[in-house]
Amino acid sequence: MYKLLSHNDLDGVGCGILAKLAFGENVKVRYNSISSLNREIEYFLENDEPDTFLFVTDLTPNGDNEKRLNDFYNANGKVQLIDHHKSALHFNDYEWGYILVEDQEGKLTSATSLLYEYLVSNKLLEPTAAVTEFVELVRQYDTWEWEKNGNHQAHSLNSLFYLISMEEFEEKIMERLRTSDHFDFDEFEKKILKMESEKIDRYIRRKKREIVQAKVGDHIAGVVYAETYHSELGNELGKEFPHLDYIAIVIMGGKRISLRTIYDHVDVSEVAGQFGGGGHQKASGCTLTEEAYKLFVLDTFHLSSIPEDAKRNQYNLKQSAFGSFYKNRNNDTFILYSKNDQDWILEKNKNELEQTFTSFEDGERFLKRNYEAALVRDDLFVDYLMSEVKKREDA
């Protein structure tokens, strides 16, 4: 008999689907949040048959259960933990732990891809094209490679996962993997996925107007409250506000924080680790501890949202030869322009700052991180120019 304890997201449920394909009725699968895993492990150790083989995927236990699982393994050898999070690498010190963040080809892994590799290599599951394609979609979504590769089918798979119940998702996918030569969505699914994509776009547009900017430790973070679409939201907000080091999505109902970054030099798993959490370099999470609540909620609740750049300008454009005109809430005015095609100059209220920049992007990043200024609309830009001309004429 087998038992699998896995995460309750797409990657975790992907593991459950593979286990059921491999073991059929001989496996019991339980999906868990990060906080509930340890209760499930304790229940297993106290109540399940001692000859049951335990798999733990996409999650890792706390220190006490880590020791208990090691004792259980030493007694009967029937434990296998499989994970791909950087914060879990120390489990490789155990014979029953297999943690791999990146494979030999430099490709990021997922729990589903690692479990598939384990089942196939141990001849517990026969590989097929459909299953291999499904596993790759899960991996690309979980590692966010789908966006770089333009693989929107991976994103759609995750959307479908949240549109229907977990049980229905399992049944649909397992039936498809058993009977189809290749993995694809049916026509009804394609229609509801199109509607869901439009709904996500509307949700993200609203959250762009709600995000605030705050200095948290050594980083400048964007903080926003949201209960759904965390991955999509974190990625889009990161691209919309590239001067932010990372996005902190506060999930008040679940008392958690989801952290996302678009940068290679920022490791949000380290940020999450400060509050007892963990995850990947670009996507991590933690519980809303008292310290995290103070930093991300109490200290930011009074802040105004980040002003958005004007979108439909024809004259006041970024990287313009005439300079780009910005303004902040204090009505400070800024002009960012190139002096000699090499150095970029920033003027604040007509006074040139001493610091110069090697690119427009560096100058704008400095401007937004330090002054929270936004590119103004054309009409305000024209009004400013006309007022300056009038002042010179009057002088």
Q: Mind listing the pLDDT tens digit for each residue in 249-274?
A: 999 999 999 999 999 999 999 999 99
Instruction: Select from 217, 282, 207, 215 the least CA-distant residue to 240.
Output: 207
Domain ranges of the chain: 2-185, 207-298, 324-394
Structure tokens at 226: 């949201």
In angstroms, the CA 2 to CA 19 distance is: 9
Percent of the chain with pLDDT over 70: 99
In angstroms, the CA 267 to CA 259 distance is: 10
Q: For the segment 206-220, what is each residue's pLDDT rounded down to a tens digit? A: 999 999 999 999 999
Q: What is the CATH number of domain 2-185?
A: 3.40.50
Instruction: Select from 71, 54, 59 the least CA-distant residue to 19.
Output: 54
Residue 393 pLDDT greater than 80, yes or no: no
Query: Long-range contacts of range 72-78, CB-CB < 8 Å, 24 or more positions apart?
Result: 72/45, 75/50, 76/50, 76/51, 78/51, 78/52, 78/53, 78/54
Percent of the chain with pLDDT over 90: 88
pLDDT band with cut points at 50, 70 and 90 for residue 35: confident
In angstroms, the CA 298 to CA 288 distance is: 12
Structure tokens at 19: 């286990």
Residues 365 and 242 sit within 8 Å (Cβ to Cβ)? yes
The architecture in CATH of the region 207-298 reads Roll (3.10)
Give the torsion through C-alpha atoms of 133, 136, 138, 141, to 10 deg: -130
- Reduced to 3 states (helix: H, G, I; strand: E, B; else coil), residue 127 is coil
Residue 63 pLDDT greater than 80, yes or no: yes
Kindly tell me the sign of the dihedral angle through the C-alpha atoms of 67, 71, 74, 80.
negative
In angstroms, the CA 394 to CA 258 distance is: 56
Residue 395 pLDDT greater than 90, yes or no: no
